[in-house]
A and B are shown apart, each in its own frame.
Chain A
Amino acid sequence: KQEVTQIPAALSVPEGENLVLNCSFTDSAIYNLQWFRQDPGKGLTSLLLIQSSQREQTSGRLNASLDKSSGRSTLYIAASQPGDSATYLCAVRSDSNYQLIWGAGTKLIIKP
């Protein structure tokens, strides 16, 4: 059974720092992996989607990497801003299933 873990559960850093959020999964037979952002009282916003054949995806200050063999993905945020404060979740879709299996998220606070 696929399990997704995100470490740390919470992170607080000063504005301007580069940071890395981690996501690990137990079954490497994945179809894709997505990183989402969740703001309080709002829905989930998809940030990056990495297909199983890809190693990384970039969007603006965000870069997500995928290492299937080790069961890991990282989300790199460059030059963090207070507006980046949110909970970041990763979700994995397995080969044989359309369901998304989610981590519990990392709550990120960027201090001005």
Chain B
Amino acid sequence: GAGVSQSPRYKVAKRGQDVALRCDPISGHVSLFWYQQALGQGPEFLTYFQNEAQLDKSGLPSDRFFAERPEGSVSTLKIQRTQQEDSAVYLCASSFDIHEQYFGPGTRLTVT
């Protein structure tokens, strides 16, 4: 079956631009997670949704980061006024019951 998909796969943004990253989770998965992975590091938690409810956004690094999942399926991570330190791979994962997470291929964001 189809796995988690993310788009775009690559995004280059000029500093100060806004970007939107999309995640399509596995159908029927209730939980959805966003992670940020800097080069040479492990992923770091950003935010967690259960259906359409954002239950935890403690990992979002600043108020420039915003995530939504309005219908409990597709999720969008938005970054406003991008900065160079936002350059990273953004990973989305979904899970039926939070015990085992399935990851998408990620979106590599480069801010120039």
A: residues with CB less than 8 A from B are 4, 32, 34, 36, 41-46, 49, 89, 91, 98-100, 102-105
Which residues of chain A are within 8 angstroms of B41 by Cβ–Cβ distance?
Answer: 104-105
Q: What residues of A have a CB within 8 angstroms of the CB of B104 in the complex? A: 43
| Given A43-B103, A98-B31, A91 contacting B98 (CB threshold 8 A) | no
Is B67 on the interface with A (CB-CB < 8 A)? no
Tell me the interface secondary structure of chain B in the complex: loop
Contact A46 B91 (CB under 8 A): no
**Residues 72-111 of chain B: 1 if any A CB is under 8 Å from the residue's CB, otherwise 0?**
0000000000000000000101000011111111101000
Docked-complex contact B91 and A100, CB < 8 angstroms: no
Task: Given A42-B105, A43-B91, decide whether A34 and B40 contact each other with a Cβ distance below 8 A.
Answer: no
Contacts of B43 in A (CB 8 A): 44, 89, 91, 100, 102
Task: Provide the residues of chain A in CB contact with B59, threshold 8 Å.
Answer: 99
Evaluate whether A34 and B100 lie within 8 angstroms (CB atoms) in the complex, with A102-B43, A104-B42 already known: yes
Please give the distance in Å from B104's CB to the nearest CB on chain A.
5
Please tell me if the beta carbons of A89 and B100 are within 8 angstroms of each other in the complex.
Answer: no
**Contact of A103 with B31 at beta-carbon distance under 8 Å, contacts A43-B91, A43-B105, A44-B91 already known:** no
